[in-house]
Amino acid sequence: MTAVAPFEGDAAEWDAFVRADATSSFCHLSGWWPLMEQRLGHRCVPLAARDASGAIVGVLPLVHVRSRVFGAYLVSMPFLNAGGPLGAPTTRTALAAAAEDEARRARVALLELRNRADPPAWGQTSHRKITVELPLPPDPDTLWRAFPGKLRSQVRRPEKDGLTVRFGPEQMPAFYDVFARNMRALGTPVLPRGWFEALAPAFGNVVEFAVVYAGERPVAAGCGFVWHGSFEITWAASLREFSRSAPNMLLYWEFMKRMIARGAHTFDFGRCTPDSGTHRFKLQWGGHDVPLPWSQWSASGATAPPSPDRPVFRVAAACWRRVPLAITNRVGPAIARCLP
């Protein structure tokens, strides 16, 4: 018999189960809990399913995102693209039902479980987000030859302009400089700098930072995670004033080469909205769409947590673009922490 309850064991026990599960993601790791609580101020409610012997047979990380302005949500995992229940089908359904019980007790507007595949037999399924995946061959030359000529010329352009790429955790400050500037240009509040500062200490070589430089100026940057042979580029940005040199094309190509060197077999471009400009950018590399079947429950009829994608945010975004960068970097994190 399987019993589901709030997890009270050692984090190492949780992570051992996550690492052994072939369907898990980096989003399931316990290292996210202190980041969610200490950097963003949200309460973590991890659930574990145990068999009669007490061994873990399923897990579900949950985070209670609360805001006086935007309301309360229970998400697995907020600010990330995966984190749904792990375990056998019946175990995943039991974990989802336990999460619903928690959502009812907490009176949240929406419970969302961000599955990558095979959603539990529970709740409604949202199809508002997808990702694009590109299979990686064993060597970069094979991948390069598979690209159409137009794509290869777009990658060569920043190389001809003398742009270079640097990898490593020490690139985090430059990454955040580009990321914060780009988010302001998009009219979107940025996550706090401390969130990104904590990634490398928490996840080691699971996380990768890369920055494209024009001379010594960072002009494009990305951050992603390697897990079970797949790499997901979770955050990426480039400066619009350097768009002629297409630094983002070099960023993605260098990430692909680095991941091939690390033995990865899949390049995951991260979530996007179907038929958006971002979606079309990702498809040009030759990948294929992968649905993100996120499971939901809501007592009020909510279908999504608050997001800058909503039309209601358009006026606010236009105003946000005009606010000085120093102010958006100081005020933005207080808003971004409520947009999971």
Q: Give the mean pLDDT of the chain.
A: 93
Residues in a beta bridge with 125: 295
Q: For residue 87, how many other CB atoms are within 10 A of its CB? A: 23
Q: What global pTM score does this model have? A: 0.94
> pLDDT digit string (tens) for 232-251?
999 999 999 999 999 999 99
Give the model confidence (pLDDT) of 165-202 as tens digits. 999 999 999 999 999 999 988 888 899 999 999 999 99
Instruction: Give residue 7's pLDDT.
Output: 97
CATH 3.40.630.30 fits 3-128+293-306, yes or no: yes
Asked if the model's pLDDT at residue 26 lies above 60, the reply is yes
For residue 128, give every residue at least 6 positions away whose Cβ sits within 8 Å of its Cβ, in sequence order, or none: 273, 294, 303, 304
131-291 CATH, one of 1.10.1240.10, 3.40.630.30, 2.40.160.40, 3.30.930.10: 3.40.630.30
Q: Where are the alpha helices (DSSP H) in the chain?
A: 11-20, 32-34, 89-106, 140-146, 149-160, 172-186, 193-197, 199-203, 247-261, 277-283, 314-320, 325-336
Beta carbons of 210 and 222 less than 8 angstroms apart: yes
User: Which pLDDT score, from 0 to 100, does residue 262 have?
Assistant: 97
Q: Which residue's structure tokens are 């309850």?
A: 5
Q: How far apart are CA 26 and CA 32, in angstroms?
A: 9
Q: Which pLDDT does position 200 carry in this prediction?
A: 98
Provide the pLDDT for residue 184: 87
Statement: residue 77 has pLDDT above 80: yes
Is it true that 3-128+293-306 and 131-291 share their CATH fold?
A: yes
pLDDT digits (tens, 9 = 90+) for 324-340: 777 777 777 788 888 88
Rounded Cα–Cα distance for residues 198 and 127 (Å)? 31
CB 122 within 8 A of CB 295: yes
User: Of 190, 223, 158, which is closest to residue 333 (Cα–Cα)?
Assistant: 190
User: CB neighbours of 57 closer than 8 A, spacing ≥ 6?
Assistant: 2, 49, 50, 51, 87, 88, 91
Query: What is the spatial distance between Cα 18 and Cα 35, in angstroms, rounded to a whole number?
Result: 18
Amino acid symbol at 335: I
Domain ranges in the chain are 3-128+293-306, 131-291
